Structure 1
């Protein structure tokens, strides 16, 4: 039996394939820089950032408060607002040649052997800013530089003699929803001292005072001042507001004859008359929101109206 001939490509196609193969085998490396540009950029910035981070001289400041602090809680909000003045975004040269970036700082509470300590961890170049902000509202507070308490425990935790557990707190709802602060725990009274009896940190501080010898509890809040152009958190808050105010109301449940009559009397239209979308949009937003939704809108608007910090709580 004769063996069938092996099929071959037409001469024009064969020449095109040979040319393409020769071209790729010679110039295959040309598109690589473009394909790897993003990866190389990230790697370069990561290297520069690490170099810059390694040059930072950190200090740990302890805030030693008197037993009774005759200041309203709102004074601390002003202190935090003053911390925002550290916002100093780097320019093009500082980013690409120096590796500079917005350096975060930390507000820390440490319970060590039943004693509670308040700390601020910051680069030494920013120390005066923090001292001025605290002294402006709390002149009786003593601020001293201390050794890092995190280095006073074995660095190989956990081990045979020490156990360790840690976590990062995460938000359940979008970041535009505010957390409860002292305002939500405050009950207006005629005495300024009375508000201090409702302390949001009371449970945490009380737990730290009950620690036994050799036990420690660290609570750390890392903060970095930001603007909306950095993380668009205000824009996301406004989008959430639009989502709440523009939602479609739920349909009213079926009512009895008496209920229909009362409903018709209150709204001034015959029973079973459905509201059109045009009529619905004509109603003021306040009439289309529940009391709870009004409170949520007010809270979101209040939050996005304040100075912003990118934060991590652990």
Structure 2
């Protein structure tokens, strides 16, 4: 009887033979399992592996043909622009989004181009960088000049190529991590409007402390801060946001049944209808449960819950990017001191965290250096170091943790040109004098 339960029209699986073989000869049991349907799992796995390898191959070939550019940006000392100007820049950069079809993805290896915004301190000299495809250079420069007409933008060498990428190294060491979101990404971070003084209206620059500490690094020390942005059409993000909004509102949304579910339920429903007619119960409709006249949940929200709901809806309405955040502190072993860069960076990021919405924290489980590893701690940390610095240098949007959504407002809070009246970092790169065209009527000798 038990054996007949496992007899199908395609596979005849002898359960008793399998159980007997498993006890006496495990290899024979594996063969029986493989022959009677186990090969399907192997085929699916091989298909997935070949699919991944093919995509990696064609995208690697396509990436090797692309030309990239590193732009260094200096802002005039007299600039009076605020963080909102940088948010406008990010809104313009969203124009880099392009729809990639199936043929472009799987045949030509095309993918959405990323833009990397960075702050680097090389022995205390702090600079702002943007790394992107050469084809996006005009878009980036136009977006910056529209908000900062007197800025200086020039092509620069990649600063990441001046340190080793294989660890352990005899002379250099590093500490690094990726930052991960604590809550689902529809929940927003604390953003720059909340850093404005309600009385004076003055904005307390949230990254001033970061730039100040970066400028204090000495000879043989470097700190790198990177946000890799992927422009997106935001369809998937809006679906995630709607789920969070409905949850906060207490709105029940019934999932739409799939085609497969409808096909399965159709004969069952037909059989139920036939039975109802045969038993003469077609005229008696099932009684519907009376709905309780409870007040809407929206009326029951506390001020804090209402604030969170409004913040999520505000983020959903804004242009955003899928992002990855990385931080590296690299120094010669003779001068390395993590407390000079690591704790100040994490402290600066924590300014944007809130307990009732979103927070960023260093990931020490998969990407960051951790002292809590039990087995082969030194080897595993060195592997993470090499992998992380390679991902940083390659401006990779897929190595490491999965990217998460940040709005232009959040990005502008995390990365923006300094408000120079508040930032006194002595080695911050800036334009000391304003450039202008000479007067048309200037006399010539």
Structure 1 pair 31/203, CA: closer, same or farther in 2 (3 Å)? closer
- The residue that corresponds to 2:220 in the other structure is 214
Q: Which of 47, 70, 74 matches 2:80?
A: 70
* Unmatched tracts of structure 1, length 5 or more: 1-15, 17-23, 249-275
Aligned-partner Cα distance in 2 for 1:226–1:209? 34
The reply on whether 1:302 has 2:314 as its aligned counterpart is yes
Between the two structures, name the one with larger relative contact order (CA 8 Å, sep ≥ 6): 2
- The residue that corresponds to 1:257 in the other structure is none
CA RMSD of aligned residues (A): 2.8
Structure 1 pair 66/189, CA: closer, same or farther in 2 (3 Å)? farther
Aligned-partner Cα distance in 1 for 2:134–2:90? 18
Aligned-partner Cα distance in 2 for 1:30–1:289? 51
Structure 1 pair 199/34, CA: closer, same or farther in 2 (3 Å)? closer
Normalized against structure 1, the TM-score is what?
A: 0.74
Structure 1 pair 189/136, CA: closer, same or farther in 2 (3 Å)? farther
* Unmatched tracts of structure 2, length 5 or more: 1-11, 13-33, 253-289, 327-445
- The residue that corresponds to 1:204 in the other structure is 210
Deviation at 1:159, TM superposition (A): 1.7
- The residue that corresponds to 1:278 in the other structure is 292
Deviation at 1:298, TM superposition (A): 0.8
- The residue that corresponds to 2:139 in the other structure is 129
List, as ranges, runs of 4+ consecutive aligned residues in structure 1 with deviation greater than 6 Å: 29-35
Q: Which has the larger radius of gyration?
A: 1
Normalized against structure 2, the TM-score is what?
A: 0.53
> Contact 1:109/1:118 (CA < 8 Å) preserved in 2?
yes
- The residue that corresponds to 2:181 in the other structure is 171
Aligned-partner Cα distance in 1 for 2:243–2:302? 19
- The residue that corresponds to 2:304 in the other structure is 292
Give aligned pairs, total.
255
Q: Which of 95, 102, 112 matches 1:102?
A: 112
Structure 1 pair 283/94, CA: closer, same or farther in 2 (3 Å)? closer
Q: Which of 213, 221, 224 matches 2:230?
A: 224
The reply on whether 1:159 has 2:176 as its aligned counterpart is no
The residue correspondences of 1:138-153 to structure 2 (distance < 5 A) are 138-153=148-163
